[in-house]
Structure 1
Amino acid sequence: MQRYFVDPEQMEEGYVTITGDDVNHIVRVMRSRVGDELICCNGRGRDVRGAIEEIGADAVRIRILEEGLPNRELPVQVTIAQGLPKGDKMELVIQKGTELGAFSFCVFTSKRTVVKLDDKKEKKRLERWQKIAKEAAEQSHRSRVPEVGSVLTWRELLATASRFHYALFAYEKEETATLRRTLSEVPPGSNVLIVIGPEGGFDETEAAEAEAAGFRSVSLGRRILRAETAPLYALSCVSYEFEQQE
């Protein structure tokens, strides 16, 4: 069943009003008609099943049939901090990371970051990344759309460690602390930051700076993963730890 995200104010008592680009998707792409059912989410935990009652030029009115649909979010809130990769790799990270349950994304630059974005390019990238997150959240039946934050500098990223219950730093030279062992210490309901480096990873100075800022270094296994593979591996580990062993 097709899923659409709406602002909380678009959900009234008994009804939902869909506006914007989703109207065109409902009418022209899905070719939906009065009586067809769909799911609407306000991004704050309220998911409803409804039936189309009225189709207008600029809005579609939905009558709510059922509240309290199953929660499909991870038991922990995982933010992926990704070193800005080359090409369209960030799009892959956001799309697949959203499907795997990421709560939010932030992008950062560090010593080995190759890509440089000016303000105009960054704005366009952020708009596209957010759109990709929304579409992936609808496809995977998420209850919320992950937020994609503005590009941070390395120093700005380090300063965010205190905002999380657990701030983890994926480092290829870590030999003892595995992600699996660290996740076993994390209780459900925690918010977790997982930092993934750009192509080329991190140097030893950055690793020391991360540790000094409160990050815990973790290993993602015996093999060296590509920048776009590492966050997906990490999210898969989180899902296995908190969902597949229930």
Structure 2
Amino acid sequence: MQRYFLNEDLKDYQNQTISISGDSFHHMIKVMRMKVDHRVYLVTKDQQAFIAKINAIEENKVLLNWVEDDLRQQELPIDVTIASGLPKGDKLDLIVQKGTELGASAFIPFAGSFSITKWDTKKAAKKIERLQKIAQEAAEQSHRTKIPTLQPLASVKQLIEMKEQFDVCLVAYEESAKAGEDQNFVKGLKMLPAGGKLLIVFGPEGGLSKDEVGAFIQNGFLPCALGPRILRTETAPLYALAAASYHFELMHK
């Protein structure tokens, strides 16, 4: 079944008629060609998922009613925020799409010293809006109950200032991999409490400068390797999220 996120608050979704219009209506009726009695998953703004049945299709909206709640746990038991140094081309699209499927809670693009791509103010707002749509579509496809947030373009200084919002902050550093340092990533995961918040910083294609890494470390970020190999900027966040999923979801089942 298809999954759709609701934009409005529902006080009594189990008993009220639910009206869907806009892009979701278009996708249901024009793309998926749904009919009366077809069922879908819906997710409220407070992350309650449930199955609903189409009762009527009007000119510009579809009307549904609750059938049963979906009580499956679809979210990582920790919040993982991915900070990505601006990469070239459409690599950030890939990071957001696949990172959403793997359970990321938020994404922060930042301008690193070695970022070739530059965003001006007007471009940044449009990029964030587009990436937020990619995140929503990926969250629907992967049956999540939460759409990750795309935060505004940041600087290294601003990332450091965000440190107090997180329980653990890591910075992926290729020199750590070359030196065989593979314990800080595991150490960071073990330090997280249930429901804890983790920030992981990844550099652009050229990596992070020594000054940037030094600034992160001086402010309490743990430098870490992600295995013995040097990963591309679009691969490293996905490795980290997959490892976090294994540690928190599979290893403890």
Query: For the superposition of Structure 1 and Structure 2, which TM-score range results when normalised by the shorter chain?
Result: over 0.9
The residue matched to 2:29 in structure 1 has which SS? Answer: helix
- Residue correspondence of structure 1 range 29-68 to structure 2 within 5 A: 29-68=31-70
- Partner of residue 106 from structure 2, selected from 85, 104, 107: 104
Q: Which amino acid aligns with 2:239?
A: Y
Residue by residue over 1:37-59, the C-alpha shift from the partner in whole angstroms, topping out at 9 and shown as x without a partner, is 00100242211101001212222
Q: Answer yes or no: is the 8 Å Cα contact 2:47–2:146 preserved in 1.
A: yes
- Partner of residue 240 from structure 1, selected from 234, 237, 246: 246
Instruction: Say if 2:9 is the partner of 1:9.
Output: yes
Inter-partner Cα distance in structure 1 for 2:110 and 2:85:
5
Q: Which amino acid aligns with 1:236?
A: A
Q: Answer yes or no: is the 8 Å Cα contact 2:9–2:45 preserved in 1.
A: no
Q: Would you identify which runs of 4 or more consecutive aligned residues in structure 1 move more than 4 Å?
A: none
Inter-partner Cα distance in structure 2 for 1:208 and 1:165:
20
- Residue correspondence of structure 1 range 116-135 to structure 2 within 5 A: 116-135=118-137
Inter-partner Cα distance in structure 2 for 1:237 and 1:24:
37
The normalised TM-score by structure 1 is 0.95
Q: Answer yes or no: is the 8 Å Cα contact 1:178–1:221 preserved in 2.
A: no
The residue matched to 2:67 in structure 1 has which SS? Answer: strand
Q: Which amino acid aligns with 1:9?
A: D
The equivalent residue for 1:142 is 144
Inter-partner Cα distance in structure 2 for 1:180 and 1:214:
16
The residue matched to 1:173 in structure 2 has which SS? Answer: helix
Residue by residue over 1:182-204, the C-alpha shift from the partner in whole angstroms, topping out at 9 and shown as x without a partner, is 31232221011111111111122
- Residue correspondence of structure 1 range 216-231 to structure 2 within 5 A: 216-231=222-237
- Residue correspondence of structure 1 range 57-206 to structure 2 within 5 A: 57-174=59-176, 175=179, 176=181, 177-206=183-212
Inter-partner Cα distance in structure 2 for 1:10 and 1:117:
38
Q: Which amino acid aligns with 2:213?
A: A
Give the stretch that moved more between structures: 134-143 or 50-59. 50-59
Cα deviation for residue 214 of structure 1 reads: 2.1
Q: Answer yes or no: is the 8 Å Cα contact 1:159–1:213 preserved in 2.
A: no
Cα deviation for residue 11 of structure 1 reads: 6.2
Give the stretch that moved more between structures: 45-54 or 176-185. 176-185
RMSD: 1.4
Q: Report the number of matched residues.
A: 246
Inter-partner Cα distance in structure 2 for 1:115 and 1:124:
15
Q: Answer yes or no: is the 8 Å Cα contact 1:10–1:17 preserved in 2.
A: no
Q: Answer yes or no: is the 8 Å Cα contact 1:11–1:42 preserved in 2.
A: no
The residue matched to 1:178 in structure 2 has which SS? Answer: helix
The residue matched to 2:34 in structure 1 has which SS? Answer: coil
Cα deviation for residue 68 of structure 1 reads: 4.1
Inter-partner Cα distance in structure 2 for 1:103 and 1:26:
26
Q: Percent identity?
A: 41
Q: Answer yes or no: is the 8 Å Cα contact 1:180–1:237 preserved in 2.
A: no
Inter-partner Cα distance in structure 2 for 1:139 and 1:53:
23
The equivalent residue for 2:23 is 21
Q: Which amino acid aligns with 1:111?
A: S
Unaligned runs of 5+ in 2: none
